[in-house]
Structure 1
């Protein structure tokens, strides 16, 4: 199915990407050549600053790899600068309720009249786009992914989904299990994940999930998850190197 990432998410297409924890445009370039559907720059758990994001965004556009970013912080003023660099969207951790979701969407969509507007950055072709064209293009294609990874958020799923500019629930199973004080994996965690999936179906919001290994994708896709962040660049490198060195003992 062709189209931009937001269109593909909203259509429920199976999409597979990974986290990028290394501040390197070369990693982004390689993942793009490998044919991933998207990647998420992990500013929450990786040492990646704005200038490094600039070069990674440049690489992503060179190979046509949609990039999202996630990072820490209760405030949402980090979002617009990343979209200005040309990122496709954001994945925001620990979204608890409707107010959180509204604040994120305010920071992304120009139509909400709160995001600073200028077509001068890369996202506006350095002024090559008119203000109306830039505003419309950005609002149509920018992706808003809200992470559901706290037990208290499970009571607000319908309200979060009702925020019309939210494109996806993304389940963080490690943090969710910690918040619930259950094992990862565990039946209790699976029940919570199922509740999120059902809320997504009920409200027409796509659901994504982190998995540590691609072998987990098929089973969760059958249950209604359509987007998967599978491991990370570091995990892919470590796994490949470990397998290579195992040849010494073969």
Structure 2
């Protein structure tokens, strides 16, 4: 039986995904065929609405690509509708303390008796699952990722990491460096990242990190990070397009040199 993404996170597997900023199910389908472990739909920094999420969730399930969503906003009422669509979980920005992390878990876990319950959406096979089966399956597979990207959260790490229903602390290095008033990258930022990694180790919780380049994965994996979001679909497209133009223009220039 194939392990769920949540089980793989908790087992400490090396997992690599990317942010998706383009509101198109085709992008999700392509990434699934490419073999990524997961993808995060970036509703925080891209214009992606609920109806677009619906189609992207359908594509993710069709190719077996687990999808999470990241979205702005202090309230947590946006979480359950996305899980109803069939998303695997959520990544919540700017979680600063234990009460905030508990509120995220309340929005995800039926066992906490605060999330609205109906097996009628896609996640419940449109009513094909019984309520007990739906509750059990959803709570077993649903992923709660809290983002650590504020200086004030660094003094709350053990309290956050001690919550059993939280699956991962995910580091947003750009916002964390801004909050700390340090450069990105910098030794001070690296030291803060190490603090988060150590808190994860003390509490048996996975730690994830955003990296702009896959070359950074081995470096941070050796230090204890197990989950990586590497770049985005748009960054990959831009990089490939620039590389194509550089190679094409270089070949044309070489041909012109030979001709002269």
Q: TM-score range by the shorter chain?
A: over 0.9
Q: Does 2:67 correspond to 1:70?
A: no
Which residue of 2 is the match for residue 41 of structure 1?
41
Which residue of 1 is the match for residue 143 of structure 2?
143
Partners of 2:213 and 2:97 in 1: CA distance: 30
Which residue of 1 is the match for residue 100 of structure 2?
100
Counting only pairs closer than 5 Å after superposition, residues 73-152 of structure 1 correspond to structure 2 as: 73-152=73-152
Partners of 1:131 and 1:62 in 2: CA distance: 24
Say if 1:40 and 1:70, in contact at 8 Å, map to a contact too.
Answer: yes
Say if 1:16 and 1:229, in contact at 8 Å, map to a contact too.
Answer: yes
Partners of 2:207 and 2:96 in 1: CA distance: 16
Task: Name the SS for the 1:95 alignment partner.
Answer: coil
Task: Name the SS for the 1:144 alignment partner.
Answer: strand
Partners of 2:66 and 2:90 in 1: CA distance: 11
After superposing the two structures, state which structure 1 stretch, 155-164 or 168-177, moved more. 155-164
Q: Which runs of 5+ in 1 are unaligned?
A: none
Partners of 1:219 and 1:102 in 2: CA distance: 31
Which residue of 2 is the match for residue 207 of structure 1?
207
4+ runs deviating over 2 angstroms: none
1:2 positional shift:
4.3
1:249 positional shift:
2.7
Which residue of 2 is the match for residue 19 of structure 1?
19
* CA distances 1:2-39 after superposition (whole Å, capped 9, x unpaired): 40000000000000000000000000000000000000
Partners of 1:180 and 1:156 in 2: CA distance: 15
1:183 positional shift:
0.3
Partners of 2:222 and 2:117 in 1: CA distance: 41
Partners of 1:66 and 1:235 in 2: CA distance: 20
1:164 positional shift:
1.3
TM-score when normalising by structure 2: 0.95
Partners of 2:188 and 2:162 in 1: CA distance: 26
Partners of 1:43 and 1:109 in 2: CA distance: 22
* CA distances 1:63-87 after superposition (whole Å, capped 9, x unpaired): 0000000000000000000000000
Q: Which runs of 5+ in 2 are unaligned?
A: 252-260
Task: Name the SS for the 1:230 alignment partner.
Answer: strand
Cα-Cα RMSD = 0.8
1:162 positional shift:
1.4
Q: Does 2:241 correspond to 1:241?
A: yes
Partners of 1:37 and 1:209 in 2: CA distance: 15
Partners of 2:64 and 2:106 in 1: CA distance: 26
Say if 1:2 and 1:8, in contact at 8 Å, map to a contact too.
Answer: no
Partners of 1:158 and 1:119 in 2: CA distance: 35
Partners of 1:241 and 1:21 in 2: CA distance: 17
Indicate the structure (1 or 2) with the bigger Cα radius of gyration.
Answer: 2
1:47 positional shift:
0.2
TM-score when normalising by structure 1: 0.99
Which residue of 1 is the match for residue 52 of structure 2?
52
Say if 1:150 and 1:179, in contact at 8 Å, map to a contact too.
Answer: yes
Which residue of 2 is the match for residue 175 of structure 1?
175
